[in-house]
Amino acid sequence: MKTQEFFNVLEQHKDKSLLFEYAPNLLVGANYHITEVKHILVDSVDCGSQIDSWRETIIQLWESPNELDKTEYMAVYKALAILKKVGGMKPYTSDAELKLEYSNSKFHTTQLFVNDFEIQGKNLIIKLAIEKTDCKAKELCGVPEKEVEKVESCCSPSSGCC
């Protein structure tokens, strides 16, 4: 989901509570805070020597250990106020891919993509997903689509790619 699409969803559901599902049926705790917003320019070269660049917006969520007993989730309007304040200080790139950065004691720190959202009663649930790594130069390197699981086929010394 792009940054502006995410903001549009929030704007449409200001009266809801904002929940994040980081894995199937697992929610970020009600004690979460938005602790950082990153405006990232990724400038890359893939294993096929192709240059690429894109922008990302990364919103970091953190669960406060001092609020473990908290049961009420942040309101969408409060999250919007935080994000708008950030946007006033450092403008967003509206077409940047949006990611949420999160971890807890049982889930490693990672950047998650917004896969979908759903409304359940008074809750707006943002459904997050992990995107697997991939070889962007499959065709250039002669890697058949069915062999994606074999990482060594893309970047092995004999591939002529790297």
pLDDT in tens, 15-45: 999 999 999 999 999 999 999 999 999 999 9
* pLDDT value for 141: 80
> Could you tell me if 19 and 93 lie in one domain?
yes
* pLDDT more than 90, % of the chain: 79
Based on the structure, what is the number of domains in the chain? Answer: 2
> Could you tell me if 145 and 114 lie in one domain?
no
For residue 156, what pLDDT band results from cuts at 50, 70 and 90? low
> Could you tell me if 71 and 115 lie in one domain?
yes
Domain that includes residue 122, residue range: 3-131
For residue 153, what pLDDT band results from cuts at 50, 70 and 90? very low
Distances (CA, A) of 75 to 82, 103, 107, 151: 11, 21, 24, 42
For residue 148, what pLDDT band results from cuts at 50, 70 and 90? very low
> Could you tell me if 140 and 63 lie in one domain?
no
Q: Is 101 exposed, middle or buried (0-12, 13-18, 19+ CB in 10 A)?
A: middle
> Could you tell me if 13 and 93 lie in one domain?
yes
Q: How far apart are CA 137 and CA 7, in angstroms?
A: 33
The answer to whether the beta carbons of residues 61 and 32 sit under 8 Å apart is yes
> Could you tell me if 105 and 161 lie in one domain?
no
Mean pLDDT of the region 146-157: 51
